[in-house]
């Protein structure tokens, strides 16, 4: 992917350039930040993460499996103890709950990995090691004809460094 990368040391200039880039629509914008900042989220205005759907589906599958394995194995080898029910839903709620948490949480992690596109084996275009430290990065995926305009915008907003990525 080709485009232009700007490294910023300040949060407010990063936010300002994101807002202008969104208006000008020069290309897809990726923002790098050493930590979560709600100001960046607000400026990007990205849709709500779909990880929650993985959580819901995983949780429902987990609770169903937890109840099912307990009920099925009890009826598969029915052993009446003290006249109690063979499939007893009250103790099986514990199994259902634990498996719901297990599968739901692991599905959440899977959802995060899939949507974040990790694990990633190679360093991708537009990343700089400073972005995990103290710098914010703004990468605009754009064609070479729009690159000068993007560079000018990044510099005007106070980027410490601007470079083209191929």
Partner 1 sequence: MAINPAPGMGVRGPNIASADVQLPAVRDYEQVDREISATLGFTKKWFLGLAIAVFFMLVGASAWTYQIYWGLGQAGYEPPVMWGVYIITFVFWVGIGHAGTLISAILYLFRAGFRTSIYRAAEAMTVFAVMTAGLFPIIHIGRPWKFFWLIPYPNWRLLWPNFKSPLVWDVFAISTYLTISTTFLFIGLIPDIAVLRDKETNPTRKRILGILSLGWRNSDREWRHFAKAYLFLAAFSTPLVLSVHSVVSFDFAMALTPGWHASIFPPYFVAGAIFSGFAMVWTIVIPMRKWFKLEHYITLNHLDATAKVVLFTSMVVGCAYMIEFFVAWYSGIRAEQEFFWNRVFGQWYWAAWIMLLCNMVLPMSLWSQKLRRNPTWLFILSIFINLGMWYERFVIVVPSLSHEFEPWQWGSYTPSWIDMSFLVGSFGWFFMWFLLFVKQLPVMAIAELKEIIAPRAKYAHAHHGVDTAGHHGAYDPHTPGEHD
Which residues from 113-132 bind partner 1, rule CB under 8 A? Answer: 113, 115-124, 127, 129-132
Q: Taking CB under 8 A as the rule, does residue 68 contact partner 1?
A: no
CB 20 within 8 A of CB 158: no
Q: Smallest distance from the beta carbon of 140 to partner 1, in angstroms? A: 13
Cα gap 150→5, rounded to integer Å:
9
Name which of 48 and 145 has its Cβ closer to partner 1. Answer: 48
- Sole binder of partner 1 in the list 70, 150, 154, 159 (CB under 8 A): 70
User: From the list 1, 42, 143, 163, which residue makes contact with partner 1 (rule: CB under 8 A)?
Assistant: 42
Q: Is 80 in the site for partner 1 (CB under 8 A)?
A: no
The 3 state secondary structure assigned to 69-97 is HHHHHHHHCCCCCCCCCCCCHHHHHHHHH
Q: Which of 60, 149, 158, 162 binds partner 1 (CB under 8 A)?
A: 158
* Phi, psi torsion values for 10, nearest 5 degrees: -115, 145
Between CA 150 and CA 125 the distance in angstroms is 16
């Amino acid at each position: 992917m080709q485009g232009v990368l700007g490294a910023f040391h300040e949060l407010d200039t990063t936010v300002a350039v994101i807002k202008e880039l969104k208006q000008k629509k020069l290309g897809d914008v990726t923002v790098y930040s050493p930590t979560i900042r709600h100001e960046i989220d607000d400026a990007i205005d990205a849709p709500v993460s779909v990880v929650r759907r993985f959580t819901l589906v995983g949780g429902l599958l987990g609770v169903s499996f937890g109840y099912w394995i307990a009920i099925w194995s009890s009826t598969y080898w029915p052993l009446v103890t003290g006249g109690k029910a063979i499939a007893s839903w009250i103790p099986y709620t514990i199994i259902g709950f634990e498996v719901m948490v297990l599968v739901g949480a692991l599905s959440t992690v899977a959802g995060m990995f899939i949507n974040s596109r990790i694990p990633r084996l190679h360093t991708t275009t537009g990343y700089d090691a400073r972005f995990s430290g103290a710098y914010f990065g703004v990468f605009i995926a754009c064609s070479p004809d729009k690159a000068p305009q993007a560079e000018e915008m990044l510099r005007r907003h106070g980027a410490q460094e601007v470079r083209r990525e191929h």
